[in-house]
Structure 1
């Protein structure tokens, strides 16, 4: 059974496992170590030369031997001092080949000098690269899955109609339309995600009435929700004027309210209430999904990309898993926040936005 730490195991896989070979102690400055090395090598060379001359050695013999000993001491000391640099070089080569799991070992990171700081920073960078690479892999896999599902459904429906297996009835055509809408939504989400990653999103700031804005946002959601018998209660004070990009904010509220409707049983209600926080100059909106709750440990995860909510025990929602991530991004663009707060009534998404920019 191996007693290696994860870092040591990673380093040994790259052929870079080392122990601390420094005869000099653990100093907090590489300059101190180098200065001490010069002092020790010079002192030993001087003492050795003095002893050899005292015992009658010729200067032509004593001086070369003294220089060789001094060089040997310098090499021995410097080898331990530079070992982590060689290890970082070797690990960097392995990372350049695409393996981001390797790390500089504990002996290097335990140093207190500049090389130790470099080793720790290098390991942090390697961890970030490994995380980014895993995120990239997960995103490619998730996007492929999300695209394949509606495309496969569309292909099957169209092939059945082309072969005469099914008739192009209004119900079948509506099924095709629903799948194209799903594809369109996913593509729109991915475009927003690319803007979010690039930091290239710009805001078209304008003043608007918040109550009218919420009415306009809710209306198409009520139409799309037909057949589920949900009731949307709104408690929005009149006269709240705020500034923001209405398109981005509509994404934010559409995703949050749509999420509440999607995770509410048929025939239940969703509450949208807002208030002004005069002290902080913000508008606080709560979207409450009555009856259901989100566990505290899951409240941060649901805002991660491609994390889907549950419509029932063990059952994922049919969404893309990007809506809440896009919502949080839209809020952050405006200097606001979106979070789940404690509420005995049910799952409560609290949106805080500044009134003015």
Structure 2
């Protein structure tokens, strides 16, 4: 939860009175302050001279009064700058929850700076929370297969269990899980680096999908999901098959994970001749994704819900990596409205254009 600047900032908050806050520009506020202080000083000097004061006495008194008015009116301007300074110092100390108190009626440059600062602080807080979540998630995801592997190997070493094919297959499953996690982390590092090399080749898209879906059907095991394909024949496109296989494996695997046993997942493919793209819709029937959650699910380490209030398994990286792989090819992945269920639409250009 974000909190305003506190403790040593309390005095600054008491100074948020801004008599000149009606102006939309800091320059106008300063000009108005200068004109107002000058007018008061001139009127006071004229008044004192009219009543017989000496010029040598009236001038200092007038200057003191003008400086006092300027100081009083400028407190509202400088207080906000002090709040920004204190918030920046708190953020430099690692407190990303700090926020500058906002006056919604302020539209001058300092007010805009405060809004931008708060937006930056929110982004940094989100990034810091993601870093913490990443450490927690990766630690958990690594600990689970490593603990299982250690227990199985120790039991075999102590002679408690025999190295039967079933036990060895369990060890293989855990090593595969570790390998998948490491691959996810490597992809995440590529995403952070903002670049990845692509090996572009021409291929038949229908055959590519067949090869991609076959291991997913085998891995689906006893869930009895039916992956139905409706692919227009003769679609040929250019791209990196390894990256695209990663894209479609993650999207279709996500659809299978969130589909009840015995249901179908539909993969529809058609060409958009107008835009020169191949459009694939992956639909798992029955379930829906709320419109307000459709952008969040592509953020790193955000896990979907397998039931009310229940997070699904996995690393929370699959969909973000899928979108990254699509964007590497100049395409995109998004959730679209579909009465049938959750519909992930993948749009990819047929011809690869070097960046």
Give TM class, smaller chain.
0.7 to 0.9
**CA deviation vs aligned residue, 1:262-318 (integer Å, no higher than 9, x gap):** 4556666544332212222221223344x5523435555543433445667777654
**Unaligned ranges ≥5, structure 2:** none
Cα deviation, residue 181, structure 1 = 0.5
Contact 1:18 1:105 in 2 (8 A): no
Contact 2:102 2:111 in 1 (8 A): no
Deviates more, 1:52-61 or 1:185-194: 52-61
Q: Paired residue for 2:82, among 82, 86, 90?
A: 86
Q: 1:160 to 1:65 in 2, by over 3 A?
A: same
Is 1:30 matched up with 2:26?
A: yes
Q: Which residue of 2 aligns with 1:3?
A: none
Q: 1:35 to 1:178 in 2, by over 3 A?
A: same
In 2, distance between residues paired with 1:352 and 1:305? Answer: 21
In 1, distance between residues paired with 2:136 and 2:155? Answer: 28
Q: 1:61 to 1:349 in 2, by over 3 A?
A: closer
Deviates more, 1:175-184 or 1:308-317: 308-317
CA RMSD in angstroms, aligned pairs only:
2.8
Q: Paired residue for 1:10, among 4, 11, 19?
A: 4
Cα deviation, residue 227, structure 1 = 5.9
In 2, distance between residues paired with 1:294 and 1:352? Answer: 20
Cα deviation, residue 250, structure 1 = 0.9
In 2, distance between residues paired with 1:148 and 1:169? Answer: 24
Matches within 5 A, 1:275-314: 275-289=270-284, 292-296=286-290, 299-309=294-304
Cα deviation, residue 221, structure 1 = 3.3
Q: Paired residue for 1:20, among 6, 16, 21?
A: 16
Q: 1:258 to 1:23 in 2, by over 3 A?
A: closer
Q: 1:258 to 1:87 in 2, by over 3 A?
A: closer
In 2, distance between residues paired with 1:112 and 1:311? Answer: 45
Q: 1:311 to 1:39 in 2, by over 3 A?
A: closer
Give the TM-score taking structure 1 as reference length. 0.85
Matches within 5 A, 1:201-240: 201-225=196-220, 231-240=226-235
Q: 1:235 to 1:22 in 2, by over 3 A?
A: closer
Give the TM-score taking structure 2 as reference length. 0.86
Is 1:101 matched up with 2:97?
A: yes
Q: Paired residue for 1:138, among 133, 136, 152?
A: 133
In 1, distance between residues paired with 2:310 and 2:155? Answer: 28
Cα deviation, residue 98, structure 1 = 1.5
Matches within 5 A, 1:1-357: 10-13=4-7, 15-16=9-10, 17-107=13-103, 109-225=104-220, 231-263=226-258, 269-289=264-284, 292-296=286-290, 299-309=294-304, 317-341=312-336, 347-357=342-352
Q: 1:170 to 1:76 in 2, by over 3 A?
A: same
In 2, distance between residues paired with 1:302 and 1:288? Answer: 16
**Unaligned ranges ≥5, structure 1:** 1-5
Q: How many residues align?
A: 349
Q: Give SS of 1:15's match.
A: helix
